[in-house]
């Protein structure tokens, strides 16, 4: 399928915006392979991960990731990002995510066990995690 010049120009512009935002950080703490290992572990433990939020590096918007036991590699997520599995819509490349937030309070009836989530994540590998009584944050970039 041929891409139109307009679509290619849009893609090139998006890449430039992402690269400019990434350049502001001195430490890049995640790789695509680390993302895939993390996502696969979340899928295997979806009963523990009921709400996952993210912040994009390009702006201050907080979105929600939609990962469940039916999420499939090369359909919902790929080698470099998610396809439409988020509340902000469209593609979400892993390198666009500044951090993930696992909030303790999901809604008025549900909470997440942050200590359990932390233990599950730590089994995947080394991550930069910050935890308090309200949320667990997985940091992807540091200044």
Per-residue pLDDT reduced to its tens digit, 56-78: 998 888 999 999 899 888 887 88
Per-residue pLDDT reduced to its tens digit, 91-135: 899 999 999 999 999 999 999 999 999 999 999 999 999 999 999
- Burial group, residue 136, by CB count within 10 angstroms (0-12, 13-18, 19+): buried
Q: Residue 137 above 70 pLDDT? A: yes
Residue 125 has phi, psi (to 5 degrees) of 165, -165
- Burial group, residue 58, by CB count within 10 angstroms (0-12, 13-18, 19+): middle
Per-residue pLDDT reduced to its tens digit, 29-66: 999 999 999 999 999 999 999 999 999 998 888 999 99
Global confidence as pTM = 0.88
pLDDT for position 91: 86
Please tell me the distance from the alpha carbon of residue 110 to that of residue 1, in angstroms, as a whole number: 45
What 3-state class would DSSP assign to 1?
coil
- Burial group, residue 118, by CB count within 10 angstroms (0-12, 13-18, 19+): middle
**Residue 130 near residue 11 (C-beta atoms within 8 A):** no
What is the domain partition of the chain in residue ranges? 5-142
Confidence band (pLDDT; 50, 70, 90) for 12?
confident
Q: How far apart are the first and last CA of the chain?
A: 40
Reference 54, options 6, 105, 103, 15; nearest CA is: 103
pLDDT for position 40: 94
pLDDT for position 4: 79
Helix (H) or strand (E) holding 102: strand 97-103
């Amino acid at each position: 399928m041929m891409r139109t010049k307009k679509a290619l120009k849009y893609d090139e512009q998006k890449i430039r915006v992402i690269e400019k935002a990434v350049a502001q950080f001195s430490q890049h703490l995640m790789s695509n392979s680390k993302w895939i290992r993390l996502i696969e572990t979340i899928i295997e433990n979806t009963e523990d991960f009921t709400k996952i939020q993210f912040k994009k590096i390009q702006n201050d918007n907080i979105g929600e990731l939609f990962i469940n036991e039916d999420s499939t590699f090369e359909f919902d997520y790929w080698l470099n990002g998610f396809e439409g599995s988020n509340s902000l819509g469209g593609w979400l490349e892993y390198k666009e995510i500044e951090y993930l937030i696992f909030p303790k309070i999901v809604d008025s009836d549900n909470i997440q066990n942050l200590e359990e989530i932390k233990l599950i994540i730590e089994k995947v590998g080394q991550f930069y995690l910050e935890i308090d009584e309200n949320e667990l944050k997985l940091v992807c970039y540091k200044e």
